Amino acid sequence: MECQLKKLVLSVDDKIMKTALKDFEFHVRAKNLSPKTISVYGERLSYFYKYIKSNSIDFKDVDRHTIQDYILFQKERGLKDISINGQILVLRIFFKYLFEEEMIEINPAEKIPLLKTEKRIKPIISEENMQKLLSVPDKRTFTGMRNFCMLMVFYDTLIRLGELTNIRLNSIDLESGTICIFGKGRKERIVPFGASTAKYLYRFIRKYRKDIPGDVLFSTKDGRILDHRNVSRILERIGKHIGVHVNPHLIRHSAASHRAMSGMPAFLLQRLLGHTTIQMTQRYVHLVDDEKLKEAFKQYSPPSVPI
């Protein structure tokens, strides 16, 4: 499917905006952003373009008031605040790039604030239910052992769905207990996993995976890659056995929440999750209760302080 940003560039009839979008498209591609992210940028910028076009506003005349009116227009349409914030963020990125490249003299989105949204605590899979999920797959079969190992790796490493489906056999080091992962922006990072995960991965590879063609760890019996939809459906089916809704992100979110509640420091959690900034990890910090905080303090506090 053609990228939404490229489709937008082709459809725009404002010459100045077309040039700006072409440059921006090259910029985001050069940053190795995922096709999905680039398409989201294109989709949200297309909404803004349709707005200014329908209101006979030339791109060169877009200012702070234009963006504020656009936000009010979206609110009047009944769009949720969190969705409007997504559009504001893309406009900020777009106009910041144009300003830094001296394609515009003033950044009209620079001081546009995000809308205040109600902070909701996302539900998580309890540790007890996680153990129940792991008991569902039949480890005596290829499919069962594969699905069990997928759950183990998901929960133990906190990796993303796209990272899991792209694990290659040669990227796993069972002795050191690490996997080489290519995350968002195709950034490489080394992710550790525990002894129990290593044990079952070894059994899966030795007994079931070694005679299957291809180098993808989690594949079909004939070596075909499991796409995102297939993995999501597998997890949904496993969840139905114990009456729990399960999806890849929920497992990652639950695993991160369990780590935070056990007292894991935020900077370590950030590394595991592959977050680019500590702010992205802060959502889990509030889960640490006072007792866990005291335990973590004792663990990481220096043994003695010179006076």
> Which sign does the torsion angle of CA 12, 13, 15, 16 carry?
negative
Query: Both tokens of residue 242?
Result: 């114990």
* Catalytic residue list contains 271: no
* Catalytic residue list contains 209: no
The span from the CA of 307 to the CA of 305, in Å, is 6
Residue tagged active-site, from 44, 92, 146, 160:
160
Instruction: Centre a 10 Å sphere on the Cβ of residue 302 and count the other Cβ atoms it contains.
Output: 6
The span from the CA of 243 to the CA of 115, in Å, is 36
The span from the CA of 286 to the CA of 260, in Å, is 9
Instruction: Centre a 10 Å sphere on the Cβ of residue 180 and count the other Cβ atoms it contains.
Output: 14
Residue tagged active-site, from 22, 64, 184, 292:
184
* Catalytic residue list contains 27: no
Contact of 100 with 70, CB cutoff 8 Å:
no
Instruction: Centre a 10 Å sphere on the Cβ of residue 301 and count the other Cβ atoms it contains.
Output: 9
The pair phi, psi for residue 126, each rounded to 5°, is -65, 160
Q: DSSP letters of 50-114?
A: HHHHHTT--GGG--HHHHHHHHHHHHHTT--HHHHHHHHHHHHHHHHHHHHTTSSSS-TTTT-PP
* Catalytic residue list contains 249: yes
Residue tagged active-site, from 44, 252, 253, 259:
252
Residue tagged active-site, from 53, 275, 283, 292:
275
Residue with tokens 């496993």: 238
The span from the CA of 27 to the CA of 44, in Å, is 17
* Catalytic residue list contains 51: no
289, amino acid identity: D
The span from the CA of 231 to the CA of 238, in Å, is 11
* Catalytic residue list contains 184: yes
Contact of 87 with 48, CB cutoff 8 Å:
yes
The span from the CA of 2 to the CA of 66, in Å, is 29
Q: Among all residues, which ones are annotated catalytic?
A: 160, 184, 249, 252, 275, 284
